[in-house]
Structure formats: C-alpha cells, structure tokens
Amino acid sequence: MGMQIAPSILSADFANLESEIVKVDTADWLHVDVMDGHFVPNLTLGLPVVERIAEVSPMPIDAHLMIDDPDHWAPRYAEAGAASVTFHYEAAKDPRAIARDLRRLGARASVALKPGTPVDAILGDLAEFDMVLVMTVEPGFGGQAFMPDMMDKVRALRAASDAADQGLWIQTDGGIARDTIETVARAGGDVFVAGSAVYGAHDPAAEVVALRDLATAAARG
C-alpha cells in the first residue's frame, strides 16, 4: 500500500459541499468528521448527511466519529455507506466489539487516540483493527498546530505492526501539510488527513497529489 491522502471536509465550504468534494477527487479517501458537541465541544454533521455524502462522493468515505457512545453509533455509519469508520478509544465501552461489528458490516475498523492517551492502551489489541488514528492535535476543531511529539506513538505502532506482519494502516490527523507530512511518513504513518492544507490551496486536487508525493519520497528515505 502506498501513501494515502484523506482531505477533511471540515475545512470545506458546507454551503457548496458536493462541488467541494469533487475538488479533491485525486484523493484516496474523503475524511468526514462527525462531532456531537459532547465528546468534543464542536458540532458538525450526523448520520443522514454522511449517508448522502457517501452517495455522491467519488472517493470512499472515511468517517471519524468524535462522539459519545460509539458502541451504538459506529455500526450505523458503516450501514450508511462509510467504507472506513474510526471511533475514539476514550469513548468506547468495548473497542473490540465495535471493531468486529464494523468488519462484519464490510467496513474497515479504526480506533483513534487523543494526544493524552498512551499507545500502550491498544497495543495488545492491534489485530482487531485495520487502522489506528493518531491525533496530532486535540480533536474538535480544524486549523490547529501539529504536535510532533505524537510521532513516538506512530513509531511504536509501526514497530508493533511490522513485528506481527499485520499491515496496520496508521493515520494522522491534525496540522498535516507540506511542512509536516514528511516527518509523519518517516515515522511510519501512511494515511494522512489534511483539511486546511488542501482546501486552502489554490488547486486542492493538485495539493493532494503534492502531499502524496512528499510522503512517498520521505518514506523511501
């Protein structure tokens, strides 16, 4: 698997969402942030909107659930058409059961870690997940500064995955741009969520390609 870019529509123009989605059709995934105003202080969109986005997006949907009670809600986003569903470890009652439900429904199962959550919390259960999302900002709002100290988590996950020959995808979200993506790729990340870096560019589709190329070159050393 090569480097993958997942533009976040959190930085898109919500009044023109379908046209904003088409602007990034060079991407591998479309990252959709779902926030409930409880687990994080921001409020974005919910299940009916994600279902409609999945119907019109040329890219598969990568749904990032920053919400309470993912044990109940995460499978419903898979049923709504999300090809990958990420829930937060901190909000889950039974992360392994959620992951198994998602896989049963045909979605990739992913777990996210907030900056303050140690990676050791999930190392024993990595086989349950297709991807781990390492938050490189505090979840809830776009445009925050990248936290380079989170690379220790990325390196630990890559080492554990390689040792088990698991093929785990490692995603990072927060402050990903041209000046940070190479650092993440060298640490072992391979799926990159970029919001303002893509949608703030003059040509979002070209920016996706540029970010992928930078990550690919960095990973090759």
CATH of the domain at 171: 3.20.20.70
Tell whether pTM > 0.85: yes
DSSP H helical ranges for the chain: 17-22, 47-56, 70-79, 95-104, 120-123, 151-164, 181-187, 196-199, 204-220
Annotation marks residue 33 as catalytic: yes
Cβ 10 vs Cβ 33: under 8 Å: yes
DSSP per-residue string spanning 143-162: SPPP-GGGHHHHHHHHHHHH
Q: Which domain holds residue 117?
A: 4-220
Residue pLDDT tens, the chain, 221 long: 799 999 999 999 999 999 999 999 999 999 999 999 999 999 999 999 999 999 999 999 999 999 999 999 999 999 999 999 999 999 999 999 999 999 999 999 999 999 999 999 999 999 999 999 999 999 877 677 899 999 999 999 999 999 999 999 999 999 999 999 999 999 999 999 999 999 999 999 999 999 999 999 999 98
Question: Is residue 55 a contact partner of residue 91, using CB atoms and an 8 Å limit?
Answer: no
| Number of domain units in the chain | 1
Residue 25 annotated in active site = no
Which one of the listed residues 62, 101, 130, 173 is annotated catalytic? 173
